[in-house]
């Protein structure tokens, strides 16, 4: 059996624990909240934010009520690219947010004949016919658009069910919020850069 001296020595080697007072617990909670806000708020405002898809204009790529995280920083470091899936403010009512795919870039000419889209620019003065594997239905359009230096032409993947640049014109760059970076819901469709596609130009 241990004697009293041995017990005292063992106790002396143990880490000393002290129960926090209610006041100390409160200030620890406040400190944690401040740190959390300092980390989360800048990310939420400047880097990424959540977005819930509403409607079927991007079907089958995106469906109603799917939950996305939007990358807000990429377009501050680089230019938007053709086929990016973007979230932007609707030009005719900037309180509303839309999700579409970039089809035409600044200073390009867009010609739409039925479901076929031809892009004319410096690299393709003869015209480039776009690949559109993400479109599963056909539209019956006959349109011609010429973009200015800060304008983007956007369309929904559900061509017969999308209210887009064909109806209300191009989107100024200043109204682009960011691109779809992460799909979180539904669980079975979680992926990074959902809907990403690149033309073989």
Task: Check the CA dihedral 28-32-33-34 and report its sign.
Answer: positive
- 3-class SS letters over 24-90: HHHHHHHHHHHHHHHHHHHHHHHHEEEEECCCCCCCCCCCCCCEEEEECCHHHHCCCCCCCEEEEEE
Query: What is the DSSP secondary-structure string of 73-139?
Result: SHHHHS---TT-EEEEEETTEEEEEEEEEEEE-TT-EEEEEETEEEEE-SS-TT-EEPP-TT--S--
E strand or H helix at 13, and its extent? helix 4-13
Which position among 23, 100, 129, 162 bears the catalytic label?
A: 100
Report the candidate in 99, 115, 97, 98 with the shortest Cα–Cα distance to residue 62: 99
User: At which residue do the structure tokens 């926090």 appear?
Assistant: 20
57 has catalytic annotation: yes
Which position among 2, 19, 57, 81 bears the catalytic label?
A: 57
User: If you ran DSSP here, which 8-state letter would residue 149 be given?
Assistant: T
Residues in the chain: 201
Q: Rounded to an integer, what is the distance from CA 103 to the centroid of its chain?
A: 17
Catalytic site positions: 57, 100
């Amino acid at each position: 059996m241990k004697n009293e001296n041995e017990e005292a020595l063992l106790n002396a080697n143990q880490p000393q624990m002290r129960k926090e007072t209610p006041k100390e617990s409160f200030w620890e909670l406040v400190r944690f909240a401040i740190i959390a806000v300092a980390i989360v708020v800048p990310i939420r405002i400047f880097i990424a934010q959540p977005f819930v898809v509403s409607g079927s204009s991007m079907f089958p790529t995106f469906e109603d009520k799917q939950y996305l995280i939007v990358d807000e920083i990429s377009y501050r470091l680089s230019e938007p690219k053709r086929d990016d899936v973007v979230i932007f403010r609707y030009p005719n009512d900037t309180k509303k947010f839309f999700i579409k795919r970039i089809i035409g870039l600044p200073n390009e000419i867009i010609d739409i004949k039925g479901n076929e889209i031809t892009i004319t620019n410096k690299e393709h003065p003869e015209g480039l016919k776009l690949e559109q594997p993400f479109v599963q239905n056909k539209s019956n359009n006959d349109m011609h658009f010429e973009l200015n230096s800060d304008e983007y032409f956007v369309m929904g993947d559900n061509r017969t069910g999308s209210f887009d640049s064909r109806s209300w014109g191009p989107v100024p760059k200043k109204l682009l919020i960011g691109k779809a970076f992460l799909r979180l819901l539904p669980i079975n469709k979680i992926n990074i850069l959902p809907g990403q596609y690149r033309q073989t130009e």
